[in-house]
């Protein structure tokens, strides 16, 4: 399907229809675009679907957005979120989640080349221990080592499957979906999975997936902004009130201690409607957070924005430049997401 849509967008570009679409009047909306990893998803031993785009594709997207729309820094976006100003047509804020090192080495040079900024939502536990492997990458790594074997999980209900070369990626997707679902006890899930598969494959000596505190300081020096993504990347809705508060307060305090920076925006881990609750939103306010970002699609219409559920979207993974342009143009003209 992705290939067909890329080809169709390419056809629209060749006959001039894409330029006509981009010339339509724009609705005033705040579009928050989210990225995760930058690089080649075909060569990873970890979760390939956390990769959003290659560096060259990111450059094409940022260039096209800057040419046709208003690229905002966080302060300008907050004015819209809080109702103090209105967007001029489609106004775009760029965000990156989790704090992968490739965000620094590959994404930041692109942003600087086009005079753009972004908000990087960082997990302070990963900054403290940049050799740590995030839970989604652990699940992928453990599954890849089980080809030719049957693995099973008892949560949220008993499930087992034989892992083959052909179904490894679907099995990874199934396990990740189960881990994100209701009724999962995270520690028991990993104990059960690792008992069958062994622990996640260690990173090579001298390499790391995640940023460290020095990288975070460099982000600020490069003119970027940092937000909270909790301390451990636990799904907040699964935690009791005290543990949710601890995740938020610890993250904000660690950023203040290490960077001298008062982070005031949060991205909910996973970001789906089931990943946070009204209690989470209240605790975020009480922790001094001024806005929180979800991740389940949609643009943000002035006057209807919930500052603690600011919608974010991702362009289709590894989409062609014409398809990314078409997606942005459709959002600008309609105020809705069309992928």
User: How high does pLDDT run on average in the chain?
Assistant: 93
- Over residues 192-199, the mean pLDDT reads 88
**Which of the four pLDDT bands, split at 50, 70 and 90, describes residue 336?**
confident
Same domain, 263 and 128: yes
Same domain, 111 and 163: no
* CA dist., res. 77 & res. 81, Å (int): 6
Residue 19 is assigned to a structural domain of this protein = no
* CA dist., res. 50 & res. 38, Å (int): 9
**Which of the four pLDDT bands, split at 50, 70 and 90, describes residue 206?**
low
Same domain, 123 and 237: yes
Contact yes or no for 92/33 (Cβ under 8 A): yes
Residue 232 is assigned to a structural domain of this protein = yes
Same domain, 59 and 84: yes
- Over residues 273-289, the mean pLDDT reads 97
The mean-pLDDT minimum among 2-16, 91-105, 234-248, 252-266 falls in: 2-16
Residue 168 is assigned to a structural domain of this protein = yes
Residue 42 is assigned to a structural domain of this protein = yes
pLDDT tens, 66-84? 999 999 999 999 999 999 9
- Provide the phi-psi class of 29: left if phi over 0, else alpha when psi is between -120 and 50, else beta: beta
Number of structural domains (the chain) is: 2
The yes-or-no verdict on residue 90 having pLDDT over 80 is: yes
Same domain, 70 and 110: yes
State the Cα torsion 123-129-131-136 to the nearest 10°: -40
- Quote the pLDDT of residue 80: 97
- Quote the pLDDT of residue 186: 87
- Over residues 304-320, the mean pLDDT reads 93
Same domain, 277 and 188: no
Same domain, 107 and 143: no
CATH code of the domain in which 271 resides: 3.20.20.370
Output the pTM of the full model. 0.94
The yes-or-no verdict on residue 201 having pLDDT over 80 is: no
**Which of the four pLDDT bands, split at 50, 70 and 90, describes residue 321?**
confident
Same domain, 125 and 148: no
Same domain, 109 and 185: no
Helix 213-221, helix 241-259: angle, nearest 10: 70
Residue 279 is assigned to a structural domain of this protein = yes
Residue 15 is assigned to a structural domain of this protein = no
Residue 203 is assigned to a structural domain of this protein = no
- Quote the pLDDT of residue 2: 61
Range of the domain at 83: 2-10+26-132+221-334
Contact yes or no for 331/337 (Cβ under 8 A): yes
Residue 274 is assigned to a structural domain of this protein = yes
- Quote the pLDDT of residue 45: 87
Same domain, 105 and 144: no
Q: How much of the chain exceeds pLDDT 70, in percent? A: 98
The yes-or-no verdict on residue 215 having pLDDT over 70 is: yes
The yes-or-no verdict on residue 1 having pLDDT over 60 is: no
């Amino acid at each position: 399907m992705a290939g067909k849509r890329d080809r169709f967008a390419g056809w629209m570009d060749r006959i001039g229809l894409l330029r006509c679409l981009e010339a339509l009047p724009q609705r005033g909306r705040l579009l928050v675009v989210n990225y995760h990893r930058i690089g080649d998803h075909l060569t990873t031993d970890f979760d390939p679907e956390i990769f959003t785009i290659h560096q060259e594709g990111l450059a094409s997207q940022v260039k096209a957005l800057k040419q046709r729309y208003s690229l905002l820094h966080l302060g300008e976006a907050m004015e819209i979120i809080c109702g103090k100003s209105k967007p001029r047509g489609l106004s775009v804020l760029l965000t990156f989640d989790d704090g992968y090192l490739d965000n620094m080495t590959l994404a930041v040079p692109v942003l600087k080349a086009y005079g753009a900024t972004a908000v990087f939502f960082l997990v302070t536990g990963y900054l403290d221990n940049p050799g740590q492997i995030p839970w989604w990458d652990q699940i992928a790594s453990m599954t890849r080592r089980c080809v030719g074997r049957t693995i099973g999980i008892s949560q949220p209900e008993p499930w087992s499957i034989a892992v083959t070369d052909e179904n490894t990626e679907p099995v990874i997707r199934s396990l990740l979906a189960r881990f994100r679902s209701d009724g999962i006890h995270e520690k028991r899930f990993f104990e059960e999975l690792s008992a069958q598969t062994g622990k996640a494959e260690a990173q090579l000596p001298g390499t790391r997936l995640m940023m460290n505190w020095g990288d975070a300081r460099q982000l600020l020096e490069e003119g970027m902004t940092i937000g909270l993504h909790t301390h451990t990347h636990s799904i907040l809705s699964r935690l009791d009130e005290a543990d949710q508060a601890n995740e938020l307060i610890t993250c904000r305090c660690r950023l203040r201690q290490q960077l001298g920076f008062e982070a005031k925006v949060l991205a909910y881990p996973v970001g789906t409607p089931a990943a946070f609750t009204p209690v989470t939103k209240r605790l975020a306010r009480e922790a001094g957070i001024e806005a929180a970002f979800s991740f389940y699609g949609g643009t943000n219409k002035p006057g209807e924005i919930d500052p603690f559920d600011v919608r974010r979207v991702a362009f289709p993974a590894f989409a062609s430049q014409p398809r990314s342009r078409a997606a942005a143009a459709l959002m600008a003209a309609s105020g809705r997401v069309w992928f």
